[in-house]
Structure 1
Amino acid sequence: MRPLGAAVGDARLVGVGQAAHGSHDFLALQHRVLRYLVEEKGFRSFVLEAPWSAGLRLDDHLLTGRGDPARIMSEEFQDAYLFMRTREVLDLIRWMRAYNVAHPGDPLRFAGNDSSHVGPELYDRVLDHVRHAHPDLLPTVTRLYRGLRPTLPAGEHMAASLEEPLAVRQEKAARTGRVLELLRARSFAGLTATRGDHLRAVRNAEVVHQVARQNAFDYDDPAEERRALAYRDTVMAENTLWWLRHTGARTVLAAHDGHVYLEGFDPDYPVIQGGLLRRALGDSYRAVGLAFGHGSFNATGTGVAAPRPEDVKVFRSGPAAAGSVELVLDRVGHRNWYLDLRTAPPAVRSWLDHARPKREIGTHWPRDPDRVNLLRSADVLVYLREIRPSRPLLPG
């Protein structure tokens, strides 16, 4: 890890990607990088491509020991987030908790930054704050939130929300937006709430609105769907930056390559989180991209819109495509290796500075390779010769 630590330098935020969501090896590498940066470089925070409400519950577990992390993951990581409900992620959380027990005065923190779901407890947190700090607003906020708090399991709620008529989804977003406006207009009440309490409540109300706003796009309109994808990555960047400022801690961000990269490779994603983070933080954000030669991974078949555990299967990649990134990278003599793209020799940088086919596997397979310009997308590249499937966390 030492050469990677040198590449990280004094960066405050390091994004570590995945070239396949359902890979044991990419999740294990994210854990290994976090552990090294915590123990050797003073990092103290981890942000995952997961719901904000899941992050709050897991962060509370890390700080207090309350709750069962496996149960929290089972309740929160549903639908597209199934690929985070794994033994690898649970091992990471258990290591973080053990670290906090051993270092109670210098704890590790955990956050989710995504906008596809918000659990019922986030509504409860906003209402509890209003009840104690701004009781005059309670009737109004209660009315605006009425019927919005999820009552179904996360996956069912996510699917049902998008099946509602567009006008209903837009009306819900208008209500969550109004709550956010009301809280932003208030200052913290000195005797009943601290400034930190107020800022956290406003952030929670904002995340509730982010999810409602994410659901309020017209996904039957291709142009509107592109705007929805841009909104999602914008929100992920905003939530990550808020967490970075709130904790003041050097942080590891774990997400798919497509959310970590500095430049997008998918024309349907006109805005990506990594590019926004670089714009906001400059060289204080480092992007670590991942690639692999061959192997197996978990995914769903194409066309599965709301995956359930039984939809997830093990797939094996085929040979590297002609002219692909992987075809050349696999010729390097080392089995697993990394390269600081910023200091690579000129000939290597020249080869990297072209868009070429590269496997970027999200939740489904098969799919055509994307075209990625590695030099413009990442600061560091990690290559694994072979990958294995992640280990799903089974119920019970």
Structure 2
Amino acid sequence: MHRYGDEVAAIARPLRDPGDLDVLLDRAAGARVVLIGEASHGTHEFYAWRAALTRRLIEERGFAFVAVEGDWPDCARVDATLRGGPAPRSALAEYDRWPTWMWANEETVDFADWLRGHNLRTGAGVGFHGLDVYSLWESLREILVWLREHRPDLVPVALRAYHCFEPYGEDPQAYAYATRFVPHSCADEVVRMLIGLRGQELAVTQNAEVVAGAEHYYRAMMEGGARSWNVRDRHMDATLGRLVDHYGPAARGVVWAHNTHVGDGRATDQSRHGEVTLGELTRERFGAGDVVLVGFGSHRGTVVAGRAWGAPMEVLEVPAARPGSVEDVLHAAAPPSALFVFPRLGSRPDLLVDEVPHRAIGVVYRPERDRWANYVPSALGDRYDAFLWIDETTALRPLHPLHVDTREPETFPSGV
């Protein structure tokens, strides 16, 4: 038995069905935002339990929107289906940026179908929105379409930004490399567009914010280090803040993203590498008492991922966790499925205080490297407020196995 074994047994709660989440719902009772993670972007159980928790937060605690680690235009199409029109499956099947399986999967369809039914039945209008920064060209096109219908007088300022990017053929790497070697960027045109569009409705202003964030992100990538990661997480945090403002002063939201974004980076080696995380920024924005950070983990199983950036998706084996890791400890001492809600104050078990390796699988995954890669040293009790444990997990169910556009550069540091 691991030295943490007795304390794990003391704080673990068996997790059999959504009713076992009561204690976590109580913890979230006064929260403005609940961030729910995942230890990979391709695991059925992470998606299914995250959806189960989110359904209860919406139904029983009145949460007003779900914001995900996805692109704003893609998620806007899904959001539109939640209020009528075509079913969500058609909108999710349109996701064509690698890794498509991250949102184009049956698990997300199941949740979106439920949310559509909830909205139509109750008139609640719960939204589904993207937080991420990648959709530079898609967002520019959405801006132009909206302006031509609603504000034709502002079309010229958006066209100047669009034409600035045209020579790069919608290839973000080409633009990024060009800004490194030539003293020119589209930043000025983007800023002028952003200023001109502020004050319009959220659909267009957020697309303008995405263009500004993406332009900054691609330039930052060329500098190496943590800067591009930080541009991305700060953009997600700012978008979350705008969504809370949009839904109203009492609005409450749920966030879905990878553990490496959801967790507080100050409790990991991410902080030592100079990275900030969405969880850390959200605690700073709203106050730690108004935020609940929920992590996930598993010992072994299968996962959908690619062996390289842009590679075809595969169902890959996840080997038994590294000895001495969080996952190894919980495999030895916790129930096969368990919930941990960490104490806010007072003494805490050593497992929540000590820095212990904690596995993180990105969209790029090579199982043969698992023992020496893929682990983030973490003080679990400071990184999260709660943790869902599933000992053996299975791959999620993608909507389509197509090998599509791979021009997006790999996200720093590991596709999460």
TM-score between the two structures when normalised by the length of structure 1: 0.84
1:341 is aligned to 2:346: no
Within the candidate set 210, 216, 219, 1:216 is matched to 219
Counterparts in 2 of 1:322 and 1:198: CA distance versus 1, 3 Å: closer
Counterparts in 2 of 1:18 and 1:90: CA distance versus 1, 3 Å: same
Paired residues in the alignment total: 370
Counterparts in 2 of 1:76 and 1:158: CA distance versus 1, 3 Å: farther
Counterparts in 2 of 1:132 and 1:143: CA distance versus 1, 3 Å: same
Q: 2:405 aligns to what?
A: none
Please list, as runs of the form range in 1=range in 2, the aligned pairs for 1:39-188 lying within 5 A after superposition. Answer: 39-66=59-86, 69-103=88-122, 105-118=123-136, 120=138, 122-128=139-145, 130-131=147-148, 134-146=151-163, 148=165, 166=180, 171-184=185-198
Question: Would the aligned equivalents of 2:160 and 2:189 in 1 still touch at CA under 8 Å?
Answer: no
TM-score between the two structures when normalised by the length of structure 2: 0.80
- 1:316, 1:159 → 2: CA distance? 31
| Deviation string, structure 1 residues 312-369 (Cα, Å, up to 9, x no partner) | 2122222222221112212335221111112598351x33212111111111223412
- 2:326, 2:50 → 1: CA distance? 22
Q: 2:37 aligns to what?
A: 17
| Deviation string, structure 1 residues 271-298 (Cα, Å, up to 9, x no partner) | 1111000001112111001111221111
| Deviation string, structure 1 residues 185-225 (Cα, Å, up to 9, x no partner) | xxx6xxxxxxxx44553332112221222122242x433xx
Shift of 1:137: 3.4
1:331 is aligned to 2:310: no
Counterparts in 2 of 1:317 and 1:269: CA distance versus 1, 3 Å: farther
Q: 1:382 aligns to what?
A: 388
After TM superposition, the structure 1 stretch with the greater mean CA deviation from structure 2, 243-252 or 68-77, is 68-77
- 2:113, 2:193 → 1: CA distance? 36
Shift of 1:158: 5.5
1:203 is aligned to 2:199: no
Q: 1:194 aligns to what?
A: none
Partner SS, residue 400 of structure 2: coil
Letter in 1 for 2:277: I
Structure 1: where are the runs of 5+ without partners? 189-196
Question: Would the aligned equivalents of 1:335 and 1:384 in 2 still touch at CA under 8 Å?
Answer: yes
Within the candidate set 238, 261, 264, 2:263 is matched to 261
Question: Would the aligned equivalents of 1:229 and 1:268 in 2 still touch at CA under 8 Å?
Answer: no
- 1:388, 1:31 → 2: CA distance? 16
Considering only aligned residues, what root-mean-square deviation do their CA atoms show, in Å?
2.8
Shift of 1:95: 1.2
1:26 is aligned to 2:46: yes
- 2:94, 2:176 → 1: CA distance? 19
- 1:129, 1:53 → 2: CA distance? 12
Shift of 1:75: 3.1
Partner SS, residue 339 of structure 1: strand
Question: Would the aligned equivalents of 2:296 and 2:388 in 1 still touch at CA under 8 Å?
Answer: yes
| Deviation string, structure 1 residues 50-102 (Cα, Å, up to 9, x no partner) | 00111211111112324x53343333352245322211111111111111221
Counterparts in 2 of 1:128 and 1:77: CA distance versus 1, 3 Å: closer
Structure 2: where are the runs of 5+ without partners? 1-20, 403-416
- 2:302, 2:333 → 1: CA distance? 21
Question: Would the aligned equivalents of 1:359 and 1:370 in 2 still touch at CA under 8 Å?
Answer: yes
Counterparts in 2 of 1:174 and 1:72: CA distance versus 1, 3 Å: farther
After TM superposition, the structure 1 stretch with the greater mean CA deviation from structure 2, 55-64 or 29-38, is 55-64
Partner SS, residue 391 of structure 2: strand
1:296 is aligned to 2:295: no
Question: Would the aligned equivalents of 2:157 and 2:192 in 1 still touch at CA under 8 Å?
Answer: no
Shift of 1:161: 5.4
Letter in 1 for 2:383: S
Counterparts in 2 of 1:173 and 1:44: CA distance versus 1, 3 Å: same
Shift of 1:127: 3.2
Question: Would the aligned equivalents of 1:51 and 1:118 in 2 still touch at CA under 8 Å?
Answer: no
- 1:333, 1:210 → 2: CA distance? 42
Within the candidate set 25, 46, 64, 1:5 is matched to 25
Counterparts in 2 of 1:73 and 1:173: CA distance versus 1, 3 Å: farther
Question: Would the aligned equivalents of 2:82 and 2:127 in 1 still touch at CA under 8 Å?
Answer: yes
Question: Would the aligned equivalents of 2:237 and 2:281 in 1 still touch at CA under 8 Å?
Answer: yes
Shift of 1:142: 2.2
Question: Would the aligned equivalents of 1:53 and 1:119 in 2 still touch at CA under 8 Å?
Answer: no
